[in-house]
């Protein structure tokens, strides 16, 4: 862990990114970069009318994520650790899934202007789960702006995320099947994950257990 200064945690909606980020930040005495979903004024409208509000929602997220990630440059990463509850480069997953061809072409021009300014994490943790598991979690946590999310959308997101991370090589990647863990309720699961992070050396590794 001493050589890992910037960790990004990723996963489909409901995977537990923010909870895990907060817990690991306490364990490793790290700062956090947390995505502010509730500040996007278009998000609730997007879930109700995806076609109409997809572009507004996506551009807002892109620029918001850009501003947050640029803040990392202000940190002294030789003396501090940062854990983010999202990976900037996943932004394109949502853009390709939700935007029309013309909208994506415009989005891509903006994305290409800023992507090289974004710092790359030294470790990415992908919280992988099946759609049924994620959909159940989303309904259980009962956030107003998420109640319009349909199961089909979660399924398509899972497919897109799995494809993205199957080809992802920009940073070392630790894939965790979240169905076998309870990082909020069981300290032993956090201990196990922390050991995986501290011992991580290979470019890619999968962590799972029977559930």
Which residues, 6 or more positions from 199, have their beta carbon under 8 angstroms from its beta carbon?
Answer: none
Separation in Å, CA 96 to CA 68, 88, 210:
22, 14, 34
Residues 84 and 7: their CA atoms lie apart, in Å, by 6
Contact 17, 86 (CB under 8 A): yes
Give me the half-sphere count of Cα atoms (radius 13 Å) on the Cβ side of residue 170: 17
- The first and second tokens of residue 140, run together, are 């259980």
- DSSP letter assigned to residue 129: -
DSSP symbol at 172:
-
Question: Is 85 noted as a catalytic residue in this protein?
Answer: yes
End-to-end CA gap in the chain: 28
Backbone angles phi, psi at 127, to 5 degrees: -85, 105
CB 4, CB 80: distance < 8 Å: no
38, 85, 152, 199: which is the annotated catalytic residue?
A: 85
Active site residues: 85
């Amino acid at each position: 862990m001493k050589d890992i200064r910037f960790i990004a945690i990723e996963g489909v909606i409901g995977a537990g990114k923010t909870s895990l980020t907060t817990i690991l930040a306490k364990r490793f005495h790290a700062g956090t970069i947390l995505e502010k979903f509730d500040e996007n004024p278009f998000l609730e409208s997007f879930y109700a009318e995806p076609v109409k509000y997809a572009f507004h929602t996506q551009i807002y997220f892109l620029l918001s994520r850009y501003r947050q990630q640029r803040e990392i440059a202000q940190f002294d990463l030789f003396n501090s650790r940062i854990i983010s509850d999202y990976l900037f480069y996943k932004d394109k997953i949502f853009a390709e899934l939700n935007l029309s061809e013309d909208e994506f072409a415009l989005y891509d021009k903006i994305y290409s202007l800023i992507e090289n300014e974004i710092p790359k994490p030294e470790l990415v943790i992908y919280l992988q789960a099946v759609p049924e598991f994620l959909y159940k979690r989303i309904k259980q946590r009962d956030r107003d702006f998420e109640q319009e999310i349909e199961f089909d959308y979660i399924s398509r997101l899972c497919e897109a995320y799995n494809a993205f991370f199957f080809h992802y090589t920009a940073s070392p990647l630790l894939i965790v099947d979240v169905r076998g863990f309870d990082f909020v309720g069981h300290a032993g699961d956090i201990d196990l994950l922390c050991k995986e992070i501290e011992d991580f050396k290979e470019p890619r590794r999968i962590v799972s257990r029977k559930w």
